[in-house]
Structure 1
Amino acid sequence: MTEARFTQRPAIVTGAARGIGRAIAIRLASEGAPSLLVDRDATGLAETADKCRGEGTAIETLVADLQDRAAPRRIADAARTAHGAIAVLVNNAGVEFRGNFTAHDDAAWDRVIDINLSAAFRLVRELTDDLAATRGAIVNLASVAVVGFAGQAAYDASKGGLATLTRSLAVEMGPMGVRANSVAPGFVDTEMLKEAPDLAAVAERLVATLPIARTGRVEEVAAAVAWLASERASYVTGHTLFVDGGWMRR
C-alpha cells in the first residue's frame, strides 16, 4: 500500500467506473482516502469500488448522470452522509462526440458541455463550504485537447473551458484555503481512445513524435492527480499539469 496521505481527507471522484477515473479512485484509496465514487455505469462502478476496498479504505458509490441538474446536490449529500465534509474533489467524468463541428447538433453539444464542464462547476458550487472547512483541493481533468483537434469541437471546448474555470476557481477560492488545479492527459491507453478508431490513428501517428514515444498509462495520470490533491502540492494552484509525454513542449 502507498503511504497514507489522505487519511481523514474524504474524496469524491466522478467518472470512476473505468479508465483514468478508476485509476484515480484506486490511487486515492491506496493513500487512505475515504471516497464516494460516482458514475452512470453501475457495473463498472461496483468493480472499481471492490478494487478500492481492497486497499482498506471506506468506499461508497452513487450511480448518477451528471447531465441531470439535480445530480450535484445528490452527490454532495451522499458524500457528506458517508464521510463528512469533503476535502478532495476530482472532476474526472467526461464524454465525447466525434464528428465535424457541423454534425454537432444541440443535443450532442449540450451533453458534452453539461457533463464535462457544467457539472464540474455545479459540484464545486455545491461543495464550496466543505472545501473551505477542510482547506481542500479540487483537481479537474482537462486534456491536451485544449489545443484543438478536428472532429471533436464540443470535447475540445469543454476541456479548454475546464482549464480556464480551474484558474478562476484558484483565484476566488484561494482566500478560503482551497487549491484548484487541473491535469491534462495526452494520449492515454483507455477505452475512450480505443472506441474512437479515427482518434486512435491520430494518436498512433503523433505519439511516435513525442520525447516519450508511447501512449500514457492511467496510473501515471492518477499519480499526478494524487500529488496535486495532496499537501505535497501545497503551494500549487491555478496550474494545468500536462501528463502528455512531451506533447505541450511544442
Structure 2
Amino acid sequence: MIWIGLGALVVAAVCGYFARAAHRKAAVMESTETLPVKDLRALHAAAVQAAGEGSFRYRCELVGQVQPHVKGALRSELAEQDCVWHRHRITRRYEETYRDSDGNQKRRTSNEVVSEFSSSTAFFVADASGRMVVRPGQHQVTGAEKVLDRFDPHTGGGNRLHLGPVSLDLGGGSGTIGFQREEWLVRPGSSFYVLGEAADPDGKLAMAAPAEGGLFTMSVKSEEELLRGENNKVLGFGIGAGVAALAGVVLLALGVFG
C-alpha cells in the first residue's frame, strides 16, 4: 500500500511538471508580440544604423504563408513530394530471443528507429508586407501533414535496404519482420506561425531558435489552436496531478496507520 501511494505521488509530480511546462509555453505565446514583416525589418534597420550589423536580436512572432527559399521547393525523401520542410522516420520491427526471470527462453517483438531526419533548409514566411527567412535547424513543425504511414514486410535479400532514395545498412538484420515508414511535410503556400528570435548574426536577418535558449515554435496550426492545446494540457495534467496526489496521500495514510 505504501509503495502504491509513493507511486501515485510520483505520478502527481510528473503531471504537475507537464502542467507547469504547458502553462509556461502558453504564457510566452500570449506575451510575445506578433509583427508584420515590414515592421520587423524597420526595427532591424534602426538597430543597424545605431549599432551596426550583427547586433540585432528580437523575440517575436510571424504569421503568413510559407514559400520555398532561393533554390526552390525541396523534395521529401520517402513520398517524394514538393515541400518547404520535411521529416521522416523509419522504424525496424524485429523479433528477438531473450530469457525471462526463470531462465526460460522466449521471443518478443521490438522496435528500433534506423533512420530519422528533419530538413534544415531555410524557407520564407510571407505576409502582406513582405517575407522573412526562417531557419528551422533541427526543430520540428507542429501539425505538419503526415503523407506516409506504411508498414512494409521484410522479404530478405541482403543486409542493405533501399526505401526510395534512402539506403539503410541493416547490420546482421536477424529477425527483421519489416519496416514502418513515416513522413511529414509542409507544402508551399501553407499557413504558418513561427515564434522565435529575429537576428542578424551574419548580417542577414532571419528568424530562428533563440541564441541563448527559449521557446522556438513553428506550426501550420494558428496561434489560437496552439494556445487552446496548451491550455487543455494545463487543465488535464492539473486534474491528473490533483487526483494522483490525493490518492497518494490516502494510500500512504492507510499503509502507515491502517
Question: Per the shorter chain, which TM-score range?
Answer: under 0.3
TM-score w.r.t. structure 1 length? 0.20
Q: Which has the higher helix share?
A: 1
More contact order relative to length (CA 8 Å, sep ≥ 6): 2
TM-score w.r.t. structure 2 length? 0.20
Larger radius of gyration: 2
